[in-house]
Amino acid sequence: MAKKPKPPEPEPDRNHERDVAVLPAKPDVTRPPLYQVALLNDDFTPMDFVVEVLQVFFAMNREKATQVMLHVHTRGKGVCGVYTRDVAESKVTQVNDFSRLHQHPLLCSMEKA
Ligand code: TYC
């Protein structure tokens, strides 16, 4: 019986330049920038109102809120919390709207932490 011709051997792979190195992608785990939300002192807003704001919008108990209010009253400015940008913007808007609604000049602002 006639021998079947062998199929040609595959070429040895010498062309390594065309190889694609596939490395597992590093997960994108960078942290978002954080912003400090602060209250500013003024001469007119009642202390009780500031304490209420700190309790309602920054989830502080009465003791902590009183401490922070007194810090702002004596030092001129005080941090109420640190948040991502969207949350910080929302706190600032809510506090300033609430203060205006009650006709107090209390100012809340944010800056990059
Ligand atoms: N200085 C105000 C007063 O004497 C009290 C006050 C505290 C106002 C903190 C604003 O962010 C503030 N009535």
Question: What global pTM score does this model have?
Answer: 0.80
Task: For ligand 1, atom 12, name the residue with the nearest CA.
Answer: 41
**What pLDDT does residue 16 have?**
45
The answer to whether the CB of 80 is under 6 A from ligand 1 is no
34 forms beta bridges with: 84
Nearest to 93 by CA among 41, 19, 30, 37: 37
Is residue 78 pLDDT above 80, yes or no?
Answer: yes
Percent of the chain with pLDDT over 90: 74
Name which of 6-10, 19-23, 91-95 the model is least confident about. Answer: 6-10
Whole-Å CA distances, 2 to 5, 7, 8, 87 = 9, 15, 18, 82
pLDDT at 3: 53
Give the H/E segment covering residue 82: strand 77-84
Residue among 50, 60, 74, 108 to mutate when testing ligand 1 (max atoms within 8 A of CB): 50
Q: Which phi and psi (to 5°) does residue 101 adopt?
A: -55, -35
